[in-house]
Structure 1
Amino acid sequence: MRWLTPDEQHAWRSFVRLQERLGGRLSRLLQTESGLSAADFAVLVNLTDVPEGRQRYQDLARALEWEKSRMSHHIARMAGRGLVVRQECPEDGRGAFVVITEAGRTAIKAAAPLHVEAVRELFLDHVTPAELRVLGDVSERVVNKLDEDAS
């Protein structure tokens, strides 16, 4: 067993605290200001990033790191609010797409500027450009390794 050194433990625990507190604060602000949950926002962002605003259920679940049941339940709730629709896949009778609606596009357009301002105020305004580059590089390297291991 390789235990964490004091420096590693400090860095890891600080990272986890940052992630939890920042995520929680951003989620509360998003919900209060736009009525969207962090999960709603994540789904809508992913759908606006792909052509035609539609993505296969399984690809969206993989991108969000969600279990199949969580994906299904959450998309059903969003569909009930008119933010997305489920669309059957004509080439694959078992597959389906999640498609953003006009109401979903309107919601994300209203929420995105509020979210960006909160990200700036709570995070970006407190790091230097050099720190931001290092954070981006480290994050990308770890995500690439996680993706590689998942394949």
Structure 2
Amino acid sequence: MDHTRWLDDEEQRTWRAFLAAHRLVFDKVERRLQAGAGMPQAYYEILVRLSEAPGRTLRMSVLAESALASRSRVSHAVARMEEAGWIVRRSCPTDRRGQLAVLTDTGMGVLEAAAPDHVESVREAVFDGLTPAQQAALQEASEAIVTHLSDGAEWPVTGDSGPDGPGCPQAS
């Protein structure tokens, strides 16, 4: 017996519209960020997460979780940004296995320089095409999907998920 819950016509239309919208928005924002700031969206996201963290510092595992990326992908990105002087890695003083990513003043300057154009590209790609009611519906639907798929995890991730609690990420 076939127990597949096939999409009906309306669900299929919604799914395809969602895919197309996601790809078009991501492509527009990514291309503009690459052209203007010379960095991919993944790097920008990491810089933003660190800029919002206490002491501009996060444990690498928390950074990966908050950016919805694998630890290896974030580690590779951080290594590249370390070479550019945007981030430094430090050992966690209370857990020799743990590493901290710290946003440098140079990295903060790069983020501050990139932010205005990035925000404008997001506004043009998403918000300029929606009414306030559509923006609210998009937020509600997006948050529902995140809650459904994140198994009730805190979102956005802000705390330390490591064994040492919140003290380690704030150490210098």
Instruction: Describe the SS at the equivalent of 1:36.
Output: coil
Instruction: Describe the SS at the equivalent of 2:90.
Output: strand
Determine if contact 2:147/2:153 at 8 Å carries over to the other structure.
no
Residue 105 of structure 1 pairs with residue 108 of structure 2: yes
Determine if contact 2:85/2:104 at 8 Å carries over to the other structure.
yes
Letter in 1 for 2:141: V
Instruction: Describe the SS at the equivalent of 2:64.
Output: helix
Quote the Cα distance in structure 1 between the aligned partners of 2:106 and 2:69.
Answer: 24
Quote the Cα distance in structure 2 between the aligned partners of 1:51 and 1:69.
Answer: 23
For residues 11-50 of structure 1, the aligned pairs below 5 Å read: 11-50=14-53
Letter in 2 for 1:4: L
Deviation, 1:150, is 6.6
Q: Unaligned stretches of 5+ in structure 1?
A: none
CA RMSD of aligned residues (A): 1.4
Letter in 2 for 1:116: V
Residue 87 of structure 1 pairs with residue 90 of structure 2: yes
Across the two proteins, how many residue pairs are aligned to each other?
151
Letter in 1 for 2:56: G
Quote the Cα distance in structure 1 between the aligned partners of 2:98 and 2:26.
Answer: 32
Identical aligned pairs, as a percentage? Answer: 38
Name the structure 2 match of 1:6: 9
| Alpha-carbon displacement from aligned partner over 1:62-82 (angstroms, at most 9, x marks no partner) | 112222221211111110011
Name the structure 1 match of 2:158: none
Poorly superposed stretches of 4+, deviation over 3 Å: none
Quote the Cα distance in structure 2 between the aligned partners of 1:36 and 1:100.
Answer: 16
Higher helix share: 1
Quote the Cα distance in structure 2 between the aligned partners of 1:78 and 1:20.
Answer: 26
Instruction: Describe the SS at the equivalent of 2:97.
Output: coil
Name the structure, 1 or 2, with higher relative contact order (CA <8 Å, separation 6+): 2
User: TM-score if structure 1 supplies the norm length?
Assistant: 0.95
Determine if contact 2:30/2:41 at 8 Å carries over to the other structure.
yes
Quote the Cα distance in structure 1 between the aligned partners of 2:136 and 2:25.
Answer: 19
User: TM-score if structure 2 supplies the norm length?
Assistant: 0.84
Quote the Cα distance in structure 2 between the aligned partners of 1:111 and 1:103.
Answer: 12
Instruction: Describe the SS at the equivalent of 2:102.
Output: strand
| Alpha-carbon displacement from aligned partner over 1:93-131 (angstroms, at most 9, x marks no partner) | 000111101111001101111011111122211100001
Letter in 2 for 1:46: R
Q: Unaligned stretches of 5+ in structure 2?
A: 155-172
